[in-house]
Amino acid sequence: MSQPSNKGLVQYTKETYGDAFGTDLLEQYKLYVQSAEQVSARRVASSRYLLTLNIALVTLYGMQSEGVVQSYWVLLVPVLGILVSWLWYQIIQSHRDLNTVKFQIIHQLEEHLPVALYAYEWQLAGEGRGTAYSAVTRIEKGIPIAFVVLHSLLCLVPFLVQRDFLI
């Protein structure tokens, strides 16, 4: 096997790599698709955790309003909720960006395989902009935004109660 070229993703040709080129390419392709799926699984796991954390914060806020927790939490809990929701949004964005790059690489690898399933699926889906498919992250990012709105409103409640707007 000779030295790899600096041409980009595919460093060797079948001629410079040898007879195992197709087999090794397919194996690397499978491993890389699996790594893209793992990014999505990590995103789902982190979203579950952050959703649970947000629900716990809203519950803690509710307990405070019942007098179970000390009053300084009335602002600390919603501010913490806003921070958690902002981080959640950033994590979703980061996973989306990473998967975008991973699927660009998968599409490039598919140029050297007999069938380009992911590239074709993406084309049929209108590349996430058509009516056939709406990118999940576009929808998913709405959840932390909704929690930011909720926590922001919870920050206002003590001031509204104090001024007799809410009773």
Tell me: the pLDDT tens digits for 92-138? 999 999 999 999 999 999 998 899 998 998 888 888 776 777 778 88
Give the mean pLDDT of the chain.
85
Joined together, the tokens standing for residue 48 give 């579950």
Please state, for a pLDDT cut of 90, what percent of the chain lies above it: 51
The amino acid that residue 2 corresponds to is S
Joined together, the tokens standing for residue 58 give 């809203």
Please compute Rg for the chain using Cα positions.
24
Angle between helices 21-65 and 142-162 (to 10 degrees): 10
Q: Is the pTM of this model over 0.75?
A: yes
Query: In angstroms, rounded to a whole number, what is the distance separating the alpha carbons of residues 136 and 100?
Result: 12
Please state, for a pLDDT cut of 70, what percent of the chain lies above it: 85
**pLDDT, position 68:** 47
Q: How far, in Å, are 54, 74, 95, 145 from residue 83 at the CA level? A: 10, 15, 18, 11
pLDDT beyond 80 at 160: no
